[in-house]
Amino acid sequence: MRVGEAIIDLLVREYGVDTVFGIPGVHNIELFRGLHASGVRVVAPRHEQGAGFMADGWSISTGRPGVCVLISGPGLTNAITPIAQAYHDSRPMLVLASTTPTNALGKKFGPLHDLDDQSGVVRSVTALSETITDASQLPAVLERAWNIFTSGRPRPVHIAIPTDVLEQFVEPFMRTPINTPPNAPQTSDIQRAVQMLAGSKRPMIVAGGGSLECGELITRIAETIDSPIVLTGNAKGEVPSTHKLCVGSALVIPRVQEEIEQSDVVLVVGSELSDADLYNGGRALSFSGKVIRIDIDAEQISRRVAPEIAIVASAKLALTQITDELSRLGVEFSNSGESRATNLRLSARSGVRQDLLPWIDAMEQTMPEGTVVAVDSTQLAYAAHTVMSCNSPRSWLAPFGFGTLGCALPMAIGAAIADSTKSVLAIVGDGGWLFTVAEMAAAIDEGVDMVLVLWDNRGYAQIRESFDDVRAPRMGVDVSSHDPSAIARGFGWNAVDVTTVDAFSIVLNEAFEHRGAHFIRISVS
Ligand SMILES: Cc1ncc(C[n+]2csc(CCOP(=O)(O)OP(=O)(O)O)c2C)c(N)n1
Ligand SMILES: [Mg+2]
């Protein structure tokens, strides 16, 4: 078989790849020949940005690495934004791309789709970016990639393969396994952490995307020490919003930040304590209490906040040991966790734009249990991110790390493809929607069932307000998509316009009850 086929064969046989996202070109045909033979589902977006966001949405939903198959040069450069998003938010993504033939690599005489240094272009937004000119190295590099995805801080990997290498004939590749055991914590650190947690009178838990698999452990620890739990955007859903100790993803609310700062012991798990979550004008939290930090990444563990106890380990192992040690103490603590969490939830609700709440409540009351929600950067979504409930992990897809526009629609498509039994809702603004609007065509071709809610305030409203806040004359913010519903219908979607919350509830309910792609435009007066 050819190298292109052998790579796909290995990925399917040994790594369980069953879905890829990408656009073919002359340069990557050998990878597509392999995809055709393998029976892998190939999802064709309308732009490589769509491929990357779909792969990322698919990855959040499944917990597995999303895979993109792209062409050299523009195929890769078009995908840099979603690759950077996955990098920013520590998610796994395998990007396989063709590159310039070996004899022309770096020669600069202008081969088609050539970049001087394709792997260099994305090196700063990947954990590993390599051009492989010797086909026999491919199994080892794929294994390294999987190790990054599964045993370290997960981040994207880009592998570029020259077209002549993709065409070479080889025997099927064999996996070269590297077993990396998960990072175990030091017992002494766990004991110190347990003592500190047990001695706390005003504890707090902040859980980030690195703790996504640990919702139950975090809940048990919180119940034992009677602590509220604040979730970052990437952890939303890992502890259900219905839990009495769950504050939700409200780190942006000043009262919540104050409460964290005033807590005497704060357990931070798998979080950068990112500006994007705090939106704190670049100010780090100034903890007055002691901080226990658990992170898989040794470089991350003391960034911005140097903890009293630093546990560089797999969150699952560390939290399991903390849970065991706490239960050995056999004490139930009483630290007003429930009333603190309730007050913080109320602060969050009163801290968002009040006129948006009825729309958010309508969505919350209408959507079926377990609905996957993808949000874009739009005013309705900012408020929803803070106050809308989310009761299952891997069902809240948000771009608030990298903060790019246009990711919600393709991420929602990726999630719908990952599990067609789930309801999927995307919340997008009229400005951000246009960044990836072409993926509405892909949604129809893929037979995706989803609902897209367009918050149409005719322009970049958040930025309009930002100009006004600093008394700068408005510029470039009053953009329009003219007749969004006509655009949606043109792509084959069912489209309805609403202006009132009552009408919205009725239309949304109908949309969830019927299969297909539904577009609801809320025209904001
Ligand atoms: C790729 C990209 N370009 C520009 C921005 C800056 N930006 C942030 S929010 C925003 C407005 C988006 O408008 P819309 O989607 O209509 O949402 P609204 O604020 O109007 O609710 C802009 C332009 C960005 N976040 N990402
Ligand atoms: Mg807008």
Checking if the pLDDT of 354 tops 90, the result is yes
Pairing of strands 93-99, 156-162: parallel
Could you tell me if residue 106 is left (phi over 0), alpha (psi between -120 and 50 degrees) or otherwise beta? left
- The residues with which 224 forms a beta bridge, in sequence order, are none
Q: Do domains 187-349 and 352-523 have the same CATH topology?
A: yes
Checking if the pLDDT of 448 tops 90, the result is yes
Q: What is the mean pLDDT of residues 315-339?
A: 93
Mutate to test the pocket of ligand 1, among 360, 377, 464 (most ligand atoms within 8 A of CB): 377
Q: Which two tokens stand for residue 213?
A: 């698999």
> What is residue 190's predicted lDDT score, i.e. its pLDDT?
98
Checking if the pLDDT of 12 tops 90, the result is yes
pLDDT digits (tens, 9 = 90+) for 371-430: 999 999 999 999 999 999 999 999 999 988 899 999 999 999 999 999 999 999 999 999
Cα(110)–Cα(116) distance, rounded to whole angstroms? 9
DSSP string, 68-119: EEE-TTHHHHHTHHHHHHHHHTT--EEEEEEES-GGGTT--S--TT--TTHH
Computed on alpha carbons and rounded to an integer, the radius of gyration of the chain in Å comes to 24
Cα(496)–Cα(376) distance, rounded to whole angstroms? 20
> What is residue 283's predicted lDDT score, i.e. its pLDDT?
79
Domains in the chain: boundaries: 3-166, 187-349, 352-523
Mutate to test the pocket of ligand 1, among 460, 478, 479 (most ligand atoms within 8 A of CB): 460
- The residues with which 496 forms a beta bridge, in sequence order, are 520
Residues 6 or more apart whose CB falls under 8 angstroms from that of 96 comprise 7, 28, 31, 67, 68, 69, 70, 159, 161
The third-level CATH classification (topology) of the domain covering 352-523 is Rossmann fold (3.40.50)
Cα(318)–Cα(257) distance, rounded to whole angstroms? 25
CA of 478 to the centre of ligand 2 (A): 9
CA of 411 to the centre of ligand 2 (A): 19
Checking if the pLDDT of 330 tops 90, the result is no
For residue 219, the tally of other CB atoms under 10 A from its CB is 20
Does the domain spanning 187-349 belong to CATH 3.40.50.300?
A: no
> What is residue 510's predicted lDDT score, i.e. its pLDDT?
98
% of residues, the chain, pLDDT over 70: 100
CA of 188 to the centre of ligand 1 (A): 47
Pocket of ligand 1 (CB under 6 A): 377-379, 403-405, 429-432, 455, 457, 459-463
With bands split at pLDDT 50, 70 and 90, how would you rate the model's confidence at 135? very high
This model's pTM is above 0.75: yes
CA of 381 to the centre of ligand 2 (A): 11
- Atom in ligand 1 nearest the alpha carbon of residue 462: 19
> What is residue 525's predicted lDDT score, i.e. its pLDDT?
84
Residues 6 or more apart whose CB falls under 8 angstroms from that of 443 comprise 409, 413, 416, 450, 491, 493, 517
> What is residue 117's predicted lDDT score, i.e. its pLDDT?
97
Q: What is the mean pLDDT of residues 512-516?
A: 96
pLDDT digits (tens, 9 = 90+) for 21-65: 999 999 999 999 999 999 999 999 999 999 999 999 999 999 999
Eight-state DSSP code of residue 229:
E
CA of 464 to the centre of ligand 2 (A): 9
DSSP string, 142-208: HHHHHHHHHHSS--EEEEEEEHHHHHSB-PPP-------PPPPPPHHHHHHHHHHHHT-SSEEEEE-
Which residue CA neighbors atom 10 of ligand 1 most closely?
A: 460
- The CATH code of domain 3-166 reads 3.40.50.970
First to last CA, the chain: 61
Eight-state DSSP code of residue 10:
H
Residues 6 or more apart whose CB falls under 8 angstroms from that of 44 comprise 22, 23, 24, 442, 445
